[in-house]
């Protein structure tokens, strides 16, 4: 899938295309990443891409025209027919939070996107109103730019694409996945069996597949009930919690949310 990114810092993306398992997504062409330097579309004598905010206040605002010119160039290059255009996305604290559901829907639709990374105080609202289809947030905190959000999102999409993770099934066992009923993953252990006096849970050493699956489900329920009771509630609503599991959950106290 082709993904275009408008950014003032294209170099930030390079290492993430070369390292770790997601490198395969780029090497194989499963993700074709095109980076567009916004400065190449700067206008006027001073070739600026930002200016002072109307109404005063700190910082600078990214101007609408260079962004529009970059977007026009990308759309021409993608040459997609009307009605099949990839969504134009801005990363923003005002956007909807990125979730597993959103990422996996995107990975399976294989449609591509045009991503815009903000900097400074953000982007002239008129550009957003005119050209942007969706706004995505990495969480309730403020970054200095959209690049880290874009890289995080790309990593999450890439690992879901076929052939990227070594074991084809391994993301099925990850947190938030429907095959875990949207719960959090269980704890993991590796050798040695005893480390600093602490032994790996007996069930995991038993070689008994049913006992291992039961242990993992139990732990997954406990971990999720403690730290993300909202995910338990969602699993309950979709009918994924058995009466016996309800009995277990009644004994687990959730951690106060910070
Ligand atoms: N004044 C803005 C923050 C601007 S931060 C506000 O208070 O909402 C500069 C840029 O970083 C933003 O335009 C956006 O592209 C990016 N950014 C900051 N926090 C983000 C977050 N939580 N998720 C996604 N992008 C974010």
Per-residue tens of pLDDT for the chain, all 258 residues: 999 999 999 999 999 999 999 999 999 999 999 999 999 999 877 789 999 999 999 999 999 999 999 999 999 999 999 899 999 999 999 999 999 999 999 999 988 999 999 999 999 999 999 999 999 999 999 999 999 999 999 999 999 999 898 776 678 899 999 999 999 999 999 999 999 999 999 999 999 999 999 999 999 999 999 999 999 999 999 999 999 999 999 999 988 877
- Report the pocket of ligand 1 as residue ranges, CB < 6 Å: 91-94, 117-119, 121-123, 137-139, 141-143, 145-146, 149
* pLDDT at residue 169, rounded to an integer: 66
Tell me how far the alpha carbon of residue 93 is from its chain's centroid: 14
Q: Which two tokens stand for residue 258?
A: 């910070």
174 is a catalytic site residue: yes
CA of 46 to the centre of ligand 1 (A): 25
* pLDDT at residue 204, rounded to an integer: 98
CA of 92 to the centre of ligand 1 (A): 4
Q: Which two tokens stand for residue 115?
A: 């991503």
CA of 125 to the centre of ligand 1 (A): 13
Report the nearest atom of ligand 1 relative to the CA of 137.
23
* pLDDT at residue 171, rounded to an integer: 84
- Of all protein residues, the one whose alpha carbon is nearest to atom 26 of ligand 1 is 92
pTM of the model: 0.96
User: Phi and psi (nearest 5°) for 48?
Assistant: -95, 155
User: How many whole angstroms separate alpha carbon 126 and alpha carbon 147?
Assistant: 21
- Of all protein residues, the one whose alpha carbon is nearest to atom 22 of ligand 1 is 93
121 is a catalytic site residue: yes
* pLDDT at residue 170, rounded to an integer: 78
**Signed CA dihedral, 140, 141, 144, 150: sign only:** negative
* pLDDT at residue 168, rounded to an integer: 63
């Amino acid at each position: 899938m082709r993904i275009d990114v408008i950014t003032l810092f294209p170099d930030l993306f390079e290492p993430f295309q070369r390292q770790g398992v997601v490198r395969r997504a780029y090497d194989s062409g499963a993700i074709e990443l095109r980076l567009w330097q916004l400065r190449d579309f700067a206008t006027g004598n001073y070739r600026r891409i930002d200016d002072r905010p109307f109404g005063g206040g700190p910082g600078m605002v990214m101007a609408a025209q260079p962004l529009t010119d970059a977007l026009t160039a990308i759309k021409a290059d993608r040459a997609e027919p009307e009605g099949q255009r990839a969504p134009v996305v801005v990363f923003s604290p005002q956007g909807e939070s990125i979730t597993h559901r959103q990422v996996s829907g995107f990975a399976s639709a294989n449609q591509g996107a045009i991503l815009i990374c903000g900097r400074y105080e953000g982007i002239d609202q008129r550009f957003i109103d005119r050209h942007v289809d969706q706004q995505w947030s990495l969480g309730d905190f403020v970054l200095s730019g959209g690049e880290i959000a874009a890289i995080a999102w790309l990593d999450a999409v890439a690992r879901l694409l076929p052939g990227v993770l070594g074991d084809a099934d391994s993301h099925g066992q990850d947190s938030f996945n429907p095959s875990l009923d949207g719960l959090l993953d269980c704890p993991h252990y590796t050798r040695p069996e005893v480390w600093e006096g602490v032994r790996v849970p007996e069930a995991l050493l038993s070689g008994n597949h049913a006992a291992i699956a039961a242990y993992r489900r139990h732990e997954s329920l406990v971990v999720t009930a403690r730290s993300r009771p909202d995910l338990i509630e969602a699993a309950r609503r979709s009918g994924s919690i058995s009466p016996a599991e309800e009995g277990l959950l009644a004994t687990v106290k959730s951690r106060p949310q910070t």
